[in-house]
Amino acid sequence: MQIIISALALSFILVSQHVVAKIYKYQDANGNWLFTDKKPEAKNAQSINIRKTKKDSPPEVSLSKTITGDKAEFRIENKLLTSVHCEVQLPEEEPNTYLVQAFSNTVILQTDRTHMRTNEIEFWCILGDPHTRPDATATYLVPFKGHRLLEVSQGFNGRFSHAQEPQIHAVDIAMPIATPISAARDGIVISIKNNYSYAGTNSGFFLDKANYVQVLHEDGTYAIYGHLLMGKIDVAVGDKVKAGDLLGRSGNSGFSTGPHLHFVIQYNDQGTMKSVPFRFIQS
């Protein structure tokens, strides 16, 4: 099972994080500060004590099987705070799509093949209702505090990683490590990842490692605040946030060439994830 969130490969299927009492920071050959929970060999390594109070989202979309008498029933269960649009491929059948609402489940198969296993059914889900229409009048505050101006290191249609949907209208904002990151728009936190400290671009291994906060908006779109600093996310799933509220601190986690914030607004457009063009306003 796979939930597709973005080309940044922000993973929605997460395990509960382990508590890390101490992490280390050190500078690489290019002068970038990196963070890790393993003591590095670098001579300039410094230890940092971090108290973690939040947990990552557990797996929230799953396939279940129940047997009643001589019948088996398979359901997609959605424990997320938003709907998911799923394509289901049953053995030797054409795929079907299902919209599973928040905190609900949907029957996808009733069969007398009680021996059938859940791993024989393939399904893929993306967030949101496929009929979502972004609010063209919505405004977005600059999503950081403590700086009047910061450089946009990659903008819309950026060739490095913003050349195709759902990242075409994403921006990367270069900023010092631990810059306060704030909500650009009112919403509710629907997912976080807060358990990774490494960064790199030399391997696809890093694509799903970025720490992030994901905020659902009233119109069904959602914002992703990516590459955050491990252990410094200040919200939990289910928290309601107002524009300007603190979400966490910027970092350099995952697929990243240096400390920055990756910001993108996405939505489900007829089963395809797309990004939303926007303009920031200064508070």
Give the start-to-end residue ranges of the domains of the chain: 134-281
DSSP 8-class letter at 41: S
Per mean pLDDT, which range of 145-154, 165-174, 219-228, 273-282 is the poorest?
145-154
Q: Encoding tokens for residue 28?
A: 């690489």
Question: If we measure between CA atoms, which residue out of 118, 128, 273, 265 comes closest to residue 184?
Answer: 265
Note the pLDDT tens digit of each residue in 235-279. 999 999 999 999 999 988 766 667 889 999 999 999 999 999 999
Can you tell me which residue has the tokens 């940092």?
48
Q: Does the pLDDT of residue 182 top 90, yes or no?
A: yes
Is 134-281 in CATH node 2.70.70.10? Answer: yes
Q: Does the pLDDT of residue 197 top 80, yes or no?
A: no
DSSP H or E stretch at residue 189: strand 187-193
DSSP 8-class letter at 157: T
Give mean pLDDT, residues 215-235.
Answer: 94
Q: Encoding tokens for residue 203?
A: 């391997």
Are the C-beta atoms of 251 and 227 separated by less than 8 Å? yes
pLDDT at res. 193 = 87
pTM higher than 0.85: no
Give mean pLDDT, residues 221-245.
Answer: 94
Say if residue 12 is exposed, middle or buried (CB neighbours under 10 Å; 0-12, 13-18, 19+). buried
pLDDT band at 40 (very low <50, low <70, confident <90, very high): low
More confident residue, 35 or 233: 233
Can you tell me which residue has the tokens 């049953």?
90
Note the pLDDT tens digit of each residue in 16-39. 222 333 445 566 676 665 555 445
Q: Does the pLDDT of residue 44 top 70, yes or no?
A: no
Beta partners for residue 216, in sequence order: 188, 222
Q: Does the pLDDT of residue 94 top 50, yes or no?
A: yes
pLDDT band at 87 (very low <50, low <70, confident <90, very high): very high
Can you tell me which residue has the tokens 């990242």?
167
Buried b (16+ CB within 10 A) or exposed e, 49-82: ebebebebbeebbebeeeeeeeebebbbebebbb
Give mean pLDDT, residues 81-109.
Answer: 93
Q: Does the pLDDT of residue 123 top 60, yes or no?
A: yes
Q: Does the pLDDT of residue 53 top 60, yes or no?
A: no
Are the C-beta atoms of 254 and 234 separated by less than 8 Å? no
Are the C-beta atoms of 77 and 62 separated by less than 8 Å? yes
More confident residue, 195 or 189: 189
Q: Where are the beta strands (DSSP E) in 234-277?
A: 240-241, 246-250, 254-255, 260-269, 272-275
More confident residue, 81 or 254: 81
Give mean pLDDT, residues 53-80.
Answer: 81
Are the C-beta atoms of 173 and 150 separated by less than 8 Å? yes
Radius of gyration of the chain (CA): 20
pLDDT at res. 27 = 67
Give mean pLDDT, residues 109-127.
Answer: 93
How far, in Å, CA of 24 to CA of 258, rounded? 17
CA 76 to mean position of chain CA atoms: 21
pLDDT band at 83 (very low <50, low <70, confident <90, very high): very high
How far, in Å, CA of 170 to CA of 155, rounded? 6
Note the pLDDT tens digit of each residue in 148-169. 788 888 888 878 778 888 999 9
